[in-house]
Chains A and B, each alone.
Chain A
């Protein structure tokens, strides 16, 4: 589904990402872990064509991401709060995203209503603008907005950060369902090793822009990751 070839990104001579080869098959739940500055967000930004690769390319479904825009209809993402439009209410925001993805109000309502549990009564019908919601609630709205329009690829940067424990558990279930039942390719990054091992079938460890581990998740994975990060983790 997603192939990365010879991808690198340099900022004024400083290499922040260098992935020679990475294949993510369709329907895989894929986890990206690494310390600060490992290149997780850079990789996601390249996937979304928000920054230009210095060398190499990413292909989604055979489409060159930095040349064609045809990947946009089946790809969605929530990277950070700057993906939200602060002066809209959550409902308006969902409808707006729905409009962009060819969904009418009814479609959006149907989808969003499945997540009432996840929202915990703090998002819908609050008569508040997104900018006035707490960070955690903003994140919930952003994550659900990324699910609108039946995307085949969903990219979530640090989805677990800022969420309360209940919501974290619910989110894990949502991500698992997406990959297992609907065949959606989900890309998740996190600092929380537990969460990624719970959710992802495959985990890739980035360090200073390089892939240094590529693990199919098993019982032993969490131990392995913990050992890796306690041994080689750089103090931030």
Chain B
């Protein structure tokens, strides 16, 4: 039975539509994976000497155990946002004579081989080796490593339990935040000294390997609990349940002032507000707004006016980038219908353009308080906003005409690479690097205000030639009409 499952798994891997196509994503994802592996390896090898230096009078091994609690929480949070239990893939198996129980065992068993469970090994093993070279008893180190691996697996299954509960709430990330926050808070305010307790527990286990059994029992318990939850969910009306909630409608009458693109404006606003993925582009606004706070308070960056331009483009353009890069893929689900309707493509694009311009203006206004860190910042943000309106908005729409990836609007947003192709990576070059280069070079070699003027000038030119540029972009979209319809019709 297991071998059949495994062969299915292998086929789904190599025959998936994205296997050949999205090489760029594969490379980027591979790069991320490699990066994390290296980070963990560095951690594993470097931890001991670092701790020895920072806490010269303490035993590094003891110090490490004091941090296990934070490792545990961090790992859990990371998993929650990145790791998914692939329940949906078993839908076709439900009607064939395989015991539900063994399907669940397979799904759960498979999850144990996730990248997230191997990653910690890259830190645990080198650290253990170093411990041995530092004359720690072999048995102690082995027990410690075993305990850490068990903890990792416990996290693996604990995460799925939390996820299954959070799937039922509207704010899906709330349970994990509450869970992690409560643990952290209890510890931080010393109400319950969890990190101390965990550290003591770890030392107890190391001294008495028999106590590993407790961890194993916890692991089995979590596994069985998962099994219990999942087996109940393995029905179409459960794991496939789409929650239906009552809809409140608003007529968005104010969009009428945008003339003939008003219907599309209304559609776009509903698109953004009623679907998970585009909605996250709105929440990114907050992140974008705060982005400047990473840099401006630090004196190093404040003396580097070059950074102002870059941060300005990013802050005022965050929605433009997040929303714009998936034009027209946002509408991929009903693209056929739009194409057979009596519409002018220009109106359709103009609606997207208007939205992006509005967002840039709003972001600029909201970013005005940065003037606290200096007038130049405000000036740079203004120039960047003009550049975003006059250049970047067109660039990103032009990039969209090469978009060939469908987007399923209802999928979770964070780290969802669906719909992402080479276009999305390449578009970043003209979008962010070009203004940075123009502004950076001019302000470095000529003067700050020369750089500012260049950005504003380019933006104004773009705004003046709006009609011409829009017509050019519209034609690009029309040229690739059939290809887009075909591509959006496929599930990837």
B residues less than 8 Å from A52 (CB atoms): 482
A residues less than 8 Å from B275 (CB atoms): 87
Known: A50-B336, A127-B246, A127-B247. A87 touches B271 (CB 8 A): yes
B409 part of interface (Cβ distance < 8 Å)? yes
B486 part of interface (Cβ distance < 8 Å)? yes
B residues less than 8 Å from A91 (CB atoms): 249
Q: What interface size band does chain A fall in?
A: 20 to 34
**Residues from 264 to 299 in B contacting A, C-beta threshold 8 Å:** 266-267, 270-271, 274-275
A37 part of interface (Cβ distance < 8 Å)? no
A82 touches B489 (CB 8 A): yes
Interface stretch, picked from B177-185, B340-348, B369-377, is: B340-348
User: How far apart sit A56 and B242, CA to CA, in the bound complex (Å)?
Assistant: 45
**Residues from 22 to 80 in A contacting B, C-beta threshold 8 Å:** 48-52, 72-73, 75-77, 79
Interface string of B61-101 (1 = CB under 8 A from A): 00000000000000000000000000000000000000000
Counting chain B CB atoms within 10 Å of each CB, the highest count among A50, A79, A128 belongs to A50
User: How far apart sit A84 and B337, CA to CA, in the bound complex (Å)?
Assistant: 7
B247 touches A86 (CB 8 A): no
Q: What interface size band does chain B fall in?
A: 20 to 34
Distance to closest chain B CB from A102 (angstroms):
8
B334 touches A72 (CB 8 A): no
B209 part of interface (Cβ distance < 8 Å)? no
Known: A83-B334, A132-B242. A100 touches B343 (CB 8 A): yes
Distance to closest chain B CB from A186 (angstroms):
16
- A→B interface (CB under 8 Å): 48-52, 72-73, 75-77, 79, 82-89, 91-92, 96-97, 99-102, 127-129, 131-132, 149
A87 touches B482 (CB 8 A): no
User: How far apart sit A132 and B244, CA to CA, in the bound complex (Å)?
Assistant: 6
User: How far apart sit A188 and B340, CA to CA, in the bound complex (Å)?
Assistant: 17
User: How far apart sit A75 and B410, CA to CA, in the bound complex (Å)?
Assistant: 31
User: How far apart sit A225 and B249, CA to CA, in the bound complex (Å)?
Assistant: 48
User: How far apart sit A32 and B35, CA to CA, in the bound complex (Å)?
Assistant: 58
Select one of A79, A92, A128 contacting B270, CB under 8 A: A92
User: How far apart sit A76 and B339, CA to CA, in the bound complex (Å)?
Assistant: 11
List of 3 A-B pairs having minimum Cβ-Cβ separation, nearest first: A99-B263, A83-B337, A72-B342
Select one of A50, A83, A101 contacting B342, CB under 8 A: A101
Distance to closest chain A CB from B411 (angstroms):
13
B485 part of interface (Cβ distance < 8 Å)? yes
Interface string of B309-340 (1 = CB under 8 A from A): 00000000000000000000000011111011
B270 touches A88 (CB 8 A): yes
User: How far apart sit A89 and B409, CA to CA, in the bound complex (Å)?
Assistant: 16
Distance to closest chain A CB from B206 (angstroms):
54
